[in-house]
Structure 1
Amino acid sequence: MNAREILVVASPLSTWRMEPQHGLAAELELVSASLLPSEILHSHVSPDHTVFTVTSSDSQLSLSVSVGQGFPKKESVAVEIKGGQMGRDEAAGWIDWVQGKLEDWDEDQDYPLYEAMTTHFLPLLAPVGTTPSPPPSKPPALAPDVPTVPHHALLVSHHLLAPSKRKDLHALSSSLSLIGFSKTGHPGIMYAIGDLLDLEEWIREVKSWQWLALRVRLAPVPVPEEAGNVVQKGQETGARGGKGRGEWTEMEKVGEALEWLRKRGGEERAKVLTDIGIGAGGGKG
């Protein structure tokens, strides 16, 4: 980041600190701190609203967020997903998707804007080869006894060291019948496979713990080739209506994490880490 970009990011902070009741200074600092090296935040402040954008050299998409008077009420926040070659239908799909995600907005949270950005919107700035398409606004209902397509998700934090967090990850993943691993040390990596609703609950719970720069690097997406593997692993009757207790592994090195991923899905699966710059130099660490 060059001097000009630092100035652009810093300028609204000094303005917002003049109005601490809005809480926007702390929110923007948290969002800025969670950005990857390929991502840049630009902002513009006017008397009645603030607009900031997040762009990434790895993505065709960008985010534009407008925060008006009345923050942190949901009505004061508007999020727009932009793309250079986005058609009308795709743009309409993203508008519906954004509105659905903003339904989760909770103005009573300490940092509602930061929570929404890191949970729903920043993960969209994936590498170009995996740029997501807008999902359907209403997924089809599933019969209770029909197996669902497994999903997977990835969380990355500055570090994972505390014994209490490591113990809680084992317990939580077991209770939600998830399969996955946590890589301790620097950085902290948490990868899980399971049902969509269970993964969403897992992310909400883990995010509620105290972290330094926790980031949802892969929001839950389907992994169709995992269907057989997940069924085989759900041997035990237990938590979550008899789906099994899951299987959670703890490791210390990035290379071990990459090997775990390759065993389940080859090099394509390992890309969930290498595409974000973890282990790309050979898988050691």
Structure 2
Amino acid sequence: VSTEMYNLEHQLRELQLIRCSLLPGEAFSFVLSPEDTAIWSSLLDALDNGVDGEIEMPAKGTSLCSARFSVRTPGSPVWFEAQVPEGPLQCSDVLVRGENISRYQQEHWQSIVSQSTAEVRDSEFPIYELFSLHLLPRLHEYDGDKHSPTSAGTPSEIHAHRPEIFHALLTSHHLVSVTKRKLMKGWSSDLHITGFAKVGYPGLIYAEGEKENVEEFVKNVKAMNWLALRVRFIEQVAAPAQTANAGDEWMEVQKISEVLELMRKKGRESCVTNHGIGSSSST
């Protein structure tokens, strides 16, 4: 058996494993031209039908392109696209695709792909293991968290189990780094945090959300390199003024007066003025 034929059979075996491992609703499709899709589909069908001896290379003059494919899960805005390695013990790049996903989400999933790829790199069928053992389970978990109701029961039960709302205030010598600002915006989205960052000198960060999420947000912020970062407080909101509106989100401001105005609207101006930031008479 020629090396070329051996590699082709190995690619087909990996494609077969991937297709056979899919759960109901998961969709496999080639990302190729109609002509190339027809060639790869016929080769794969021959293998599926148990006619290994009938698998043949395309006729001379017909080039066989690399097999690119995608796998999607039902209703997910994120899916993966990959190229089947051309031989054993090889691992090709896997790309994250999506509809209306943020750049942070794209980078988050690409990081998961990179970490998972390192774990399967020495496998005989690395792309198969990457999809079946790592990426698709993580994607189902992500979709489940996204679409599951946050609580169940009667309105009184929901009210009784309403999560604790916390807020936190952090200050630093300055906040200029574009990287830090992008990371905080991404974390605020993932952790459902509302609040703001006052950029420039000094730097100021205010976050509000569920207790565990605020604590995680503060932990992430502290893990970055800062000059004179101080956590002024992280505590339960005594009396949440209102449920977060659809328009509430993470934002950036440039001036202390803007900070005071935002906190005044929340009825919490003293939360910053008591720490020597601005004054209640500032405008």
For the superposition of Structure 1 and Structure 2, which TM-score range results when normalised by the shorter chain?
0.3 to 0.5
Larger of the two Rg values belongs to structure: 2
